[in-house]
Structure 1
Amino acid sequence: MDSFQDLIATNSSEKTANGDKHFMSHMPTSLAAIHVVGTFYQVGYEVGKKFRNEIEQFYKGTSLFDDLLPFYQTSNGRQIYEEYLDITKDLYPQYVREMEGIADGSGRPFHEVFLIHIEPEISTMLRTGQGIQSTSAQCTTVMLNYIDNDGRQQTVLAHNEDAIVAMPKTIPYMVHTRITTDAESPSIAEEWSAYCYPGHIAGNCFSLNIHGLATTTNRLFPNNVQRGKIPYYIAARALLSCDSIDAAEEMIRTDMHRVALGMSVSLAFSAVADSEQIVANIEIAPTDTNAPYGGKNYHVKRIPVASRKEEGFYFHCNRYDRIPDVAEGEEVSSDHRKRRIEALPVPSSVDDVLAIIGDTAGDERFPVYRSGKEPDYLFTAATGVFDMMASTFSIYTNNPANGPGPVMKIPMAKRTVKKIL
C-alpha cells in the first residue's frame, strides 16, 4: 500500500522531542493531513494509525463513555446497535471495512468506532426520552449562484463546521485518498479530499471528490428516529461517492427513503461550464413509510445561475425549511442563526458570503460563526469554501471574514477534473 507524507498547510506546528507534531491549541494556523492510497480497509487503517492520539482525545470528549457504551451494554441497546450494523453491512459493506480499518489502526474496539457513527441516532433516542443533549456537530451552509449585469459570475458553497467545545480545534484533519477496489489488481473506486473528525469516516463535514462534486452536510433533529435504517454518518459517506448532483439525487431517491435520521446535504459541481453551474440543497427526513410528507421524504432545491442575487442565494442551518410536518427537537442556535442571516444583506460576491458565514456581530449569544461561549455549546472548528469560478476549495481554521486566510487551498479544474492525488 502506498502512503504519502503528511501535509501541513503552514509552518505554525512545532516538533516535540520525539518528533511528533504539536499544534497550538487556541488559534490554529495549520491543519494536519494524510495522503493515502489503498483499499477501504487499508485507508481506514492508515488514518487510524496516523491519528491514533487524536482519536483517543476526541472520543474522550464525546458521549461515548457516558451514554453510548452504557446504552450498548443493555439488551435493547445492543439490539439497536446490531440492527444499524446489519443494514450498513447489507448496503455499504465497504464502509464497514473502512471503519474496521480505523478501529484496527487506532487500537480501539470496533464497537466503539461504530457507536460513534450511530451517535446521532442513539442520542436522539435518549434526548427524546430523557432530555439528553446530542454532542453531534451542527453547522451553517451558505450558497450563491449569481451573475451580475457586467457578466461577473459568483458560484460559491461555504460551510461552517461547528463542533463540541470539548474538542480541541487542532485535532480534526484532512484526508486525501484514492481508494482501490482490490489490493492485487486495483481499480479506483473513490478519490476525494475531506475534512474529518478523528475516528470518523469522511462525508460528514465538507468534501470534494475526483468527479468535481463538492458536498457539505448539516445535522437535522427530527424526533422520528428509525431503528434498523441507514445511519446519518453512513448516508453522508455514501453521498461522497457520487459523480454528479444528479447521481446524488438518484441515490437519495433509491436508497435514502430508508434513512434513520434527518440531514441536509448541499452540493456544487465543478465539471460543467460556467453557465450550467448549479448549487443544490437536499433535505432528507426519516420515515416509517415509503410515502410520507405529501409523497416523499426528501426535497431537492436546485439553484441555477440567476441574474437576481435574491434568486441565486440560499442558506441552511439545522432546521427543516421545506419538508412540512416534521416534528423536531429544540435547536435554539439554529433559530438564532437563521434570523441573523435573514437580516443581513443578500450577498453578491464571495467576500459577501464570507462575511455572512463569519458573522459574529449581530447575535452575541448565538452567532453564525460560533465561539462556544455560554449559552451556546458549540464552536466553529473550520470553514470550507468552494469557489467554483476561481476553481478552489479553501479550508479556514480561523474566521474567514477577518482572519489570516485559508490554511489549505485545493485546486478544482472545470469540466476536466484533475486528480486529487
Structure 2
Amino acid sequence: MPIPSSGNLGRRNCIPILYTKGTHYEVGYDVGRTFSGLIQNFLEEAESTPGYLGEYLEAYNTPEGQKGYEDTLNCLKTNFPQYVDELKGTAEGANVPFYKLFLLHMDNIILSAAEKKLIDHPTGCSTICINEKGQELLGHTEDALALTLNYYYFVSAHIITDKPQGKWGVKEEKFTSLCYAGHLPGYTMSYNHHGLVFSINTLVAKNLKTGKTPRHFITRALLSAENFAQAQQILRDRGCGAGDGCSINMTFIKQEGDRLFHNVEMGPATAKEAESQLNILTVSPGECSFHTNSYLRMKLEEPDNKKMFESSVARMETFRKYKPPKNEEDLKQMLSDRTHVNGIDVFRDAKTDYVKTIAVGIFNITEKTWSLYSDSPRQNDPLVVLPLQLKK
C-alpha cells in the first residue's frame, strides 16, 4: 500500500539516518535499498505535481532535451564517474529508473535545453551565519516544495576506494548530509570529517548550460574538500564549470587563526570561460551574514521568476528588521519568523503554502554540534543533536 501523500500525512517528527560504508556504488545502493519506499513514493508524487518532474520528463522527451541530457551525463562520466555510479546505485537499490533521478539533479537545465520556460516557484532556503566569540553559528531553513515534507533523511557515509576517483583524484570521503529522497548528498546541509560545514541556497540564472556540471554534482564533490582552497577549486570546476547556480555558506572547523565564514555565489560557466563564476564574501569575527535565493553581489542575468524573487526579498527584509544577531537564541527567533505582512514567512508552514520549511538546522561550530529541528526552533527542542565527528 502506498505511503499517504505528505500533504495528508502532516509534519512528522521523524528523521531517519543511515550509516553506510563502501564504494560509491555500494553506498548509493544502500541508500536506495534502505529508503526505497520513500524514494518510490516521492517520485510518484513529484511526477504528478504541477511544475516539477512531469515538466522535466516532457522536456526530456524532446530531441533537444535528449541531447542536453546526454551531453550533461557524458560530461559527468568524464569528470565525476564515481558520483554517476553512486546515483546509479541509489536507483538500482530503490528499483527506480536512473533517468528520473538524474532529471531531478539536472533541474531547470533540462527545461533550458528544450527551450521551455523555467519553473517559477517561491522555493529556496534561508541561511544566517553568526561569527561572535563563543557563538560561532550557521543556521539554515531547508525549504522545498510541500510534497518534499517527510521525504528526506540523513546519510552518514564513509567511502574508501583503491584508486583515485574523478577529476580531483579523491580516494576517501566521510560525511553526514541531509538528503532529499533519491538525491545525492550535498545539496542541503552537510559536514565532512575534514571539518567543512556548509549549507546551500538555490539561485537561478537565466542562461543555463548543458554539457556542464549540475550544481547538485558540484556540491556532492564539495563533500570531499579538505580546506578552503580545495573548496574553491571544486566550486570553480575549471575545465568545465557549473551548468546552473547556487549560494554556498561554509566554514572549516579546524582552520588556523580567526574563525571565518564564507558565502560563495556561484553562477553558470560563460561561453568564453570553462569554469564557474564565483563571488566570495568573507564574514569576519564580530560580523553576521544572511542569504536567501537571489544573487546579491554577482552581476548575473536572472530569469523573470517573480515568485522566487519576491520570496527572497521578503525574507531578507524580515532579517533586516532585527538587530544583528549575536547568539543562538537570536538565530532561532529569526529562523522561526512568521510575521511578514504578505505571508511570505521565513518559517513556512501554512496549509496553503506551496513551499514549506521541511527542517531547520543549526551548526554550533564552538561546541561542534549539529541540531536538527523538524519544526520551528523557537517553540521546539531539536529532534536530534549530532556531534560533528572530525578526522584525527
Relative distance call for 1:347 and 1:245 in structure 2 (3 A) is same
Residue among 82, 90, 114 paired with 1:94? 82
- Partner deviation per Cα, 1:363-386 (whole Å, 9 max, x = no partner): 451101112544x42000011111
Q: Is the CA contact 1:192–1:208 (under 8 Å) kept in the aligned structure 2?
A: yes
Amino acid at match of 1:130: K
Relative distance call for 1:229 and 1:155 in structure 2 (3 A) is same
Amino acid at match of 2:129: M
Distance between the aligned counterparts of 2:316 and 2:243, measured in 1? Answer: 25
User: Equivalent residue for 2:166?
Assistant: none
Residue among 199, 213, 218 paired with 2:201? 218
User: Equivalent residue for 2:385?
Assistant: 409
Q: Is the CA contact 2:187–2:216 (under 8 Å) kept in the aligned structure 1?
A: yes
Q: Is the CA contact 1:124–1:134 (under 8 Å) kept in the aligned structure 2?
A: no
Residue 344 of structure 1: how far off its partner (Å): 1.7
Relative distance call for 1:254 and 1:54 in structure 2 (3 A) is closer
Residue 253 of structure 1: how far off its partner (Å): 3.3
User: Equivalent residue for 1:150?
Assistant: none
Q: Is the CA contact 1:336–1:363 (under 8 Å) kept in the aligned structure 2?
A: no
Amino acid at match of 2:363: F
User: Equivalent residue for 2:92?
Assistant: 104
User: Equivalent residue for 2:188?
Assistant: 205
Amino acid at match of 2:63: S
User: Equivalent residue for 1:272?
Assistant: 255
Q: Note if 1:305 corresponds to 2:305.
A: no
Q: Which has the higher mean CA deviation after the structures are superposed, 97-106 or 333-342?
A: 333-342
User: Equivalent residue for 1:12?
Assistant: none
User: Equivalent residue for 1:356?
Assistant: 334
Q: Is the CA contact 1:372–1:378 (under 8 Å) kept in the aligned structure 2?
A: no
Residue among 33, 38, 41 paired with 1:49? 33
* Count of residue correspondences: 376
State which structure, 1 or 2, has the greater radius of gyration over its C-alpha atoms. Answer: 1
Distance between the aligned counterparts of 2:100 and 2:299, measured in 1? Answer: 35
- Partner deviation per Cα, 1:225-253 (whole Å, 9 max, x = no partner): 11211112111111121112232112223
Amino acid at match of 1:297: Q
Calculate the aligned-residue CA RMSD, in Å: 2.7
Residue among 119, 125, 135 paired with 2:107? 119
Amino acid at match of 2:260: I
Unaligned 5+ segments in structure 1 are 1-15, 148-152, 307-311
Q: Is the CA contact 2:111–2:117 (under 8 Å) kept in the aligned structure 1?
A: no
User: Equivalent residue for 2:356?
Assistant: 379
User: Equivalent residue for 1:4?
Assistant: none
What does 1:213-252 correspond to in 2, within 5 Å?
Answer: 213-252=196-235
Relative distance call for 1:282 and 1:35 in structure 2 (3 A) is same
Amino acid at match of 1:133: D
Distance between the aligned counterparts of 1:325 and 1:195, measured in 2? Answer: 29
User: Equivalent residue for 1:145?
Assistant: 131
User: Equivalent residue for 1:83?
Assistant: 71
- Partner deviation per Cα, 1:312-358 (whole Å, 9 max, x = no partner): 11010000001124334322211111111112221011111111111
| Aligned-pair identity (%) | 28
Distance between the aligned counterparts of 2:237 and 2:30, measured in 1? Answer: 32
- Partner deviation per Cα, 1:180-239 (whole Å, 9 max, x = no partner): 1149xxx96100111000100000100011111111111101111112111121111111
Amino acid at match of 1:225: L
Q: Which has the higher mean CA deviation after the structures are superposed, 282-291 or 345-354?
A: 282-291
Amino acid at match of 2:141: N
Query: TM-score, with normalisation over the residues of structure 2?
Result: 0.88
User: Equivalent residue for 1:10?
Assistant: none
Residue among 389, 393, 402 paired with 2:366? 389
Amino acid at match of 2:120: Q
Distance between the aligned counterparts of 1:65 and 1:144, measured in 2? Answer: 36
SS in 2 for 1:141: strand
Distance between the aligned counterparts of 2:64 and 2:259, measured in 1? Answer: 48
Distance between the aligned counterparts of 1:304 and 1:130, measured in 2? Answer: 40
User: Equivalent residue for 1:159?
Assistant: 140
Q: Is the CA contact 1:213–1:267 (under 8 Å) kept in the aligned structure 2?
A: yes
SS in 2 for 1:62: helix
Relative distance call for 1:287 and 1:177 in structure 2 (3 A) is closer
Q: Is the CA contact 1:72–1:78 (under 8 Å) kept in the aligned structure 2?
A: yes
Q: Is the CA contact 1:284–1:299 (under 8 Å) kept in the aligned structure 2?
A: yes
Q: Is the CA contact 1:394–1:406 (under 8 Å) kept in the aligned structure 2?
A: yes
Residue 256 of structure 1: how far off its partner (Å): 8.3
Residue 56 of structure 1: how far off its partner (Å): 1.2
User: Equivalent residue for 1:27?
Assistant: 11
Q: Note if 1:170 corresponds to 2:147.
A: no
Residue 138 of structure 1: how far off its partner (Å): 1.1
Q: Is the CA contact 2:205–2:300 (under 8 Å) kept in the aligned structure 1?
A: no
SS in 1 for 2:302: coil
Q: Is the CA contact 1:39–1:182 (under 8 Å) kept in the aligned structure 2?
A: no
User: Equivalent residue for 2:120?
Assistant: 133
Q: Which has the higher mean CA deviation after the structures are superposed, 66-75 or 253-262?
A: 253-262
Unaligned 5+ segments in structure 2 are 164-169
User: Equivalent residue for 1:282?
Assistant: 264
Distance between the aligned counterparts of 1:170 and 1:325, measured in 2? Answer: 34
Q: Is the CA contact 2:268–2:276 (under 8 Å) kept in the aligned structure 1?
A: no
Relative distance call for 1:248 and 1:261 in structure 2 (3 A) is same
Q: Note if 1:180 corresponds to 2:173.
A: no
Q: Is the CA contact 2:242–2:276 (under 8 Å) kept in the aligned structure 1?
A: no
